[in-house]
Amino acid sequence: MLIIFAAVLLLTIGACTPDDNIGEIFIDRQWTLTYIREGSVQYDNRGKKYSVQFTDDGFTATSPSGVAINGKWEANGKTRRFHCWNLQTTGSLEGDTIAGKMLKIFTEATSYSGDTNWLHINKDKNTYMQFGNN
């Protein structure tokens, strides 16, 4: 009986990984942009704080220039699909290359990868944003 209990407990713990828990990865966690990758080109944040915070009903990404990107999002923990819609910006994107690239990737996002320590929002295999957990 003890062996059966231990086996069930092990299977239960193994099935609950943070990688599949959308709430743990996204909700009420502030992520700081590390860099944006477009093919072989990498855009660093240059020590400036670009961040994104997801909630149950949307997200807000902010830049040091005052640009804010707001929208709705959904993610699937099994397929790792990620999609944004209803995107709106406040502030001027002019002169803020990083914020402009963030908006483009959020607009065209198809998937995510990561866990509670790091997060990629992917447009495709070679174009993504990498965030670190604060």
Partners of 70 in beta bridges: 60, 88
d(CA 34, CA 37): 10
* CA distances, 92 to each of 57, 61, 68, 88, 99 (Å): 25, 14, 9, 12, 9
Q: Please give the pLDDT value at position 46.
A: 85
d(CA 108, CA 110): 6
Which tokens go with 25?
Answer: 């990865």
pTM over 0.75: yes
pLDDT at 8 over 90: no
Count of alpha carbons within 13 angstroms of residue 64, beta-carbon side: 11
Q: Please give the pLDDT value at position 44.
A: 92
d(CA 78, CA 96): 35
Q: What is the mean pLDDT of residues 126-133?
A: 96
pLDDT tens-place string over residues 62-117: 999 999 999 999 999 999 999 999 999 999 999 999 999 999 999 999 999 999 99
pLDDT tens-place string over residues 44-58: 988 899 999 999 989
Per-residue b or e along 116-128, where b marks 16 or more CB atoms closer than 10 Å to that residue's CB: eeebbbbbeeebb
pLDDT at 15 over 60: no
- Nearest alpha-carbon partner for 84 in 93, 95, 73: 73
Q: Please give the pLDDT value at position 3.
A: 54
d(CA 30, CA 132): 9
pLDDT at 41 over 80: yes
